[in-house]
């Protein structure tokens, strides 16, 4: 189920710029359903991790205040074109996904 | 007779212990994300959230952190934020929106090779400052910028 993550990673001068887009509803748990008046249960990504060469390069902890279909971009050095990079996320309902991508 | 009674007692004791563990939230799926700083994210106050997430709420204002955000955001649900820290030894970063019900939006922990740069999109309930807090060499630095949110989307 690696379809929820879109990844672009480019290396230039040893520095990789990673951009990823995750499709996720990111419900805060504070919003109400207009028809029934009931609260929509919280459903958001809590943790995103990025690994390069077996080492963690980024650990992001999110709340429901990150926009729907979240976008995340970061940079790290020591990367070469062709290296693999792994992005994974876990949400508050225990669902998760991960993607292995290549740096261009 | 007596022996059976012992066995029954032991069995019920063990079941009780498992039940207590579930009750305490130890065995729910949420426990898998044990590292998630629940207290920090649920804090309603900026200082409480900061102390919980970064260890202190004592920050030094600096111009070495660049916070890029729109002056006016027409749609508060999607506000692009880019934070660049030019401080050596940046190890983690938090982005806060003080006027949101829960100010702490996200926290990032960097690996040794990772640069102090994060770009993402956050939700904002209304016009508010956006605060970026960076932890470098055990000290906290911050910078902020006001973003106006126009809910009607008329661009006022």
DSSP string, A29-66: S--B-TTT-PBPPPB-EEEEEEEETTEEEEEEEE-TTB
Are residues B67 and B20 located together in one domain of the fold?
Answer: no
The answer to whether the Cβ–Cβ distance between B108 and A74 falls below 8 Å is yes
CB contact under 8 A, B97 and A65: yes
B113–A77: do the CB atoms touch at under 8 Å?
yes
Residues A70 and A19: beta-carbon distance below 8 Å: no
A90 and B123 in contact by Cβ < 8 A?
A: no
Same domain, B2 and B70: no
Shortest distance between the Cα of B4 and any Cα of chain A, in A, equals 41
Would the CB atoms of B117 and A62 count as touching at under 8 Å? no
Residues B107 and B37 sit within 8 Å (Cβ to Cβ)? yes
Picking from A75, A65, A96, A99, the residue whose alpha carbon sits closest to that of residue A85 is A99
Token pair for residue B27?
């065995």
Q: Which residues of A touch B115 (CB under 8 A)?
A: 15, 74-77
* CATH 3.20.20.70 is held by the domain A2-102: no
3-state secondary structure of B151: coil
Are A78 and B113 a contacting pair at CB < 8 A?
Answer: yes
Residue of A nearest to B124 (CA): A65
**A85 in contact with B at a CB cutoff of 8 Å?**
no
List chain A residues with pLDDT less than 70: 1-2
ipTM of this predicted structure: 0.86
Four-point Cα dihedral A77, A79, A85, A89, nearest 10: 0
Q: Is residue B118 part of a domain?
A: yes
Give the distance, in angstroms, between the CA of residue B37 and the centroid of all CA atoms in the same chain. 7
CB-CB neighbors (< 8 A) of B100 in chain A: 65
DSSP H or E run through B153: none
Kindly state whether A99 is in contact with chain B, defined as any CB-CB distance less than 8 angstroms: no
pLDDT at residue B127 is higher than 70: yes
pLDDT in tens, B41-52: 877 788 888 888
Same domain, B88 and B25: no
Q: Range of B57's domain? A: 39-149
User: pLDDT digits over B91-126, tens only?
Assistant: 889 898 888 888 888 998 988 888 889 999 988 888
Question: How many folded domains does chain B comprise?
Answer: 2
Q: Tell me, what's the pLDDT at B19? A: 46
A60/A88 Cα distance (integer angstroms): 10
B25 found inside a domain: yes
Instruction: Please give the pLDDT value at position B20.
Output: 47
pLDDT over 50 at B64, yes or no: yes
């Amino acid at each position: 189920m690696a379809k929820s993550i879109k990844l672009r990673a480019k290396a230039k001068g040893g520095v990789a710029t990673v951009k990823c887009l995750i499709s996720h509803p990111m419900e805060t748990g504070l919003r109400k359903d207009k028809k029934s008046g009931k609260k929509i249960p919280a459903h958001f990504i809590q943790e995103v991790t990025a690994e390069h060469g077996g080492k963690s390069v980024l650990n992001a902890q999110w709340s429901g205040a990150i926009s729907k279909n979240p976008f995340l971009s970061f940079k790290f050095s020591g990367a070469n074109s062709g290296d693999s990079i792994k992005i994974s996320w876990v949400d508050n309902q225990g669902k998760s996904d991960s993607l292995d991508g290549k740096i261009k | 007779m007596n022996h059976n009674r012992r066995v029954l007692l032991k069995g019920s004791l063990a079941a009780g212990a498992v039940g207590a563990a579930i009750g305490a939230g130890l065995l729910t799926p949420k426990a898998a994300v044990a590292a998630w700083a629940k207290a920090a994210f649920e804090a309603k106050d900026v200082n409480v959230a900061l102390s919980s997430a970064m260890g202190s709420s004592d920050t030094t204002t600096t111009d070495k952190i660049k916070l890029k955000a729109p002056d006016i955001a027409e749609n508060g649900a999607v506000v692009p934020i880019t934070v660049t820290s030019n401080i050596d030894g940046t190890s983690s970063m938090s982005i806060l929106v003080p006027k949101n019900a829960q100010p702490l939006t996200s926290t990032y922990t960097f690996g040794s090779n990772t640069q102090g740069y994060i770009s993402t999109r956050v939700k904002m309930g209304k016009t508010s400052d956006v605060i970026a807090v960076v932890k470098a060499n055990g000290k906290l630095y911050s910078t902020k910028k006001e973003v106006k949110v126009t809910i009607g989307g008329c661009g006022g």
